[in-house]
Amino acid sequence: MTAPLPLHETRQLGRTRIHALQAGGQRLDGGAMFGVVPKPLWERRIPADDRNRIALGMRCLLVEHADGLVLIDTGVGAKEDAKFLDIYGIEAAVPGHRTMLDAALAAAGHTAADVRVVINTHLHFDHAGGNTRVDAAGAVVAAFPNARYLVHAGEHHYAMHPNERTAASYFPRNWEPLRATGQLTLVESGVELLPGIRMRPTPGHTPHHQSIVIDGGGETAVFLGDLCPTTAHVPLPWIMGYDVEPLRTLESKRALWADAAAAGWLLVFEHDATTAWGRLGQGAKGLEVVPA
Ligand SMILES: [Zn+2]
């Protein structure tokens, strides 16, 4: 099956063209996705299937930056087996393309070879799996052969030292081959990675999770990553059960919402099945996403 929605959506962010690229569909347990929020509340926002799973996307953001194409997160890739794909309800195959992300890139008029910089919000398999691919000889190689990959140093360290709860999300084949080729650069948050693009630390989902802030020239967007995976997660206590430090997520989200609401930032939602972006607005019951 193909994505329920267009593979890509394009808009202007100030003077910069950006594309939301769909890297695949995913179905995860609704209870796990909403943490302590009771099912009668969350299923009004996103209905569950007969396995209690909710439909999600794996959206990436492509920025037509003056220094070259920048891709934020890379979806799940194509290295996992059928059993894995079934467990996580992943549908990321498109006939004629290596991955759905490649198909989305093509739909936006680009190829993997055109990408100059890849930035990962964190290294979970559904965000960094598309960093690498298996070549004809069976070796795991860079999926973006001409790109530098920027990963937060703390997140990389955390991923390389997993525990019993975190290990199922971190597969070194998604980034270690890039170290061998010198393509992986470990970075700190706060500094400009490229003119107008920086990581904003949004700890909680993982201790060094980063949201990516893009100043497009007169307009700013933030790629939220797993700080707020869907538009249904905008209320402060709607926090995923997957988060390792949920009370830090709460404070990361509180601080970011304050800045985003004050400055009218465009929010980009990675896992929302249908909505790529929107802005914060005041609704009857608190903050909500309004179409941008
Ligand atoms: Zn994650």
Q: Tell me the pLDDT tens digit for each residue of 14-65.
A: 999 999 999 999 999 999 999 999 999 999 999 999 999 999 999 999 999 9
Name the band, by pLDDT with cuts 50, 70 and 90, for residue 165.
very high
**Number of neighbours of residue 145 by Cβ within 10 angstroms:** 12
> Residue 196 has which token pair?
């107008």
Distance 172 CA to ligand 1 centre (A): 15
Q: How far away, in angstroms, is 182 Cα from ligand 1 center?
A: 25
Determine what percent of the chain is predicted with pLDDT higher than 90.
95
pLDDT of amino acid 4? 56
Q: How far is the CA of 286 from the centre of ligand 1 (A)?
A: 26
The rounded distance, in Å, linking the Cα atoms of 217 and 198 is 14
* Ligand 1 center–CA 261 separation, angstroms: 24
Ligand 1 centroid distance, CA of 78 (Å): 18
Element (H, E) at 70: strand 68-72
CA–centroid distance, residue 127 to ligand 1 (Å):
7
Task: With a cut of 90, say whether residue 190 has pLDDT above it.
Answer: no
Residue 196 CA to ligand 1 centre (angstroms): 25
| pLDDT given for residue 2 in this prediction | 42
Average pLDDT, the chain: 96
- Cα(6) to ligand 1 centroid in Å equals 23
253 near 209, Cβ under 8 Å? Answer: no
Contacts 24+ apart (CB under 8 A), 200-203: 200/256, 201/252, 202/227, 202/249, 202/252, 202/253, 202/256, 203/245, 203/248, 203/249, 203/252
The rounded Å distance from CA 128 to ligand 1 centre is 9
Mean pLDDT for the stretch of residues 114-138: 98
CA gap 178, 139 in Å, rounded = 12
Least confident of 4-8, 124-128, 201-205: 4-8
* Interatomic CA distance for residues 169 and 123, integer angstroms: 8
Distance 24 CA to ligand 1 centre (A): 15
Decide the pairing of beta strands 266-268 and 68-72.
unpaired
- pLDDT at residue 3 greater than cutoff 80: no
Rounded distance from Cα 15 to ligand 1 centre (Å): 30
For residue 227, the CA-to-ligand 1 centroid distance in Å is 9
The structure tokens listed for 176 are: 């270690």
Average pLDDT over residues 76-86: 96
Ligand 1 centroid distance, CA of 105 (Å) = 22
How far does residue 154's CA lie from ligand 1's centre (Å)? 15
Instruction: Output the CA 79–ligand 1 centroid distance in Å.
Output: 18
Q: Which of 118, 121, 277, 278 is nearest to 199 (CA)?
A: 121
What lies within 8 Å, CB to CB, of 57 at 6+ separation is 3, 5, 22, 23, 24, 25, 26, 270, 271, 272, 273, 274
Ligand 1 centroid to residue 74 C-alpha, Å? 12
Mean of pLDDT values over 171-185: 97
Centre of ligand 1 from the C-alpha of residue 122, in Å = 7
Residue 128, pLDDT > 90, answer yes
The pLDDT, as a whole number, for residue 285 is 86
pLDDT band at 228 (very low <50, low <70, confident <90, very high): very high
Strand segments, DSSP code E, in 90-129 are 115-119
Sequence-distant (6+) residues with CB within 8 A of 204 are 227, 239, 243, 244, 245, 246, 247, 248, 249, 250, 251, 252, 253
What is the reported pTM? Answer: 0.97
Q: CA-based diameter of the chain, in Å?
A: 57
Q: Is 292 a residue whose pLDDT tops 90?
A: no
What is the mean pLDDT of the segment spanning 141-157?
Answer: 98
Q: What's the whole-number mean pLDDT along residues 173-184?
A: 97
Residue 1 has pLDDT above 70, yes or no: no
* 87 pLDDT higher than 50: yes
Give the span between the Cα atoms of 238 and 230, in whole angstroms. 10
* Both tokens assigned to 289: 């996403």
Q: How far apart are CA 128 and CA 251, in angstroms?
A: 25
Selection from 27, 85, 34 nearest residue 51 by Cα: 27
Amino acid type, 63: V
Instruction: Return the DSSP state at 265.
Output: P
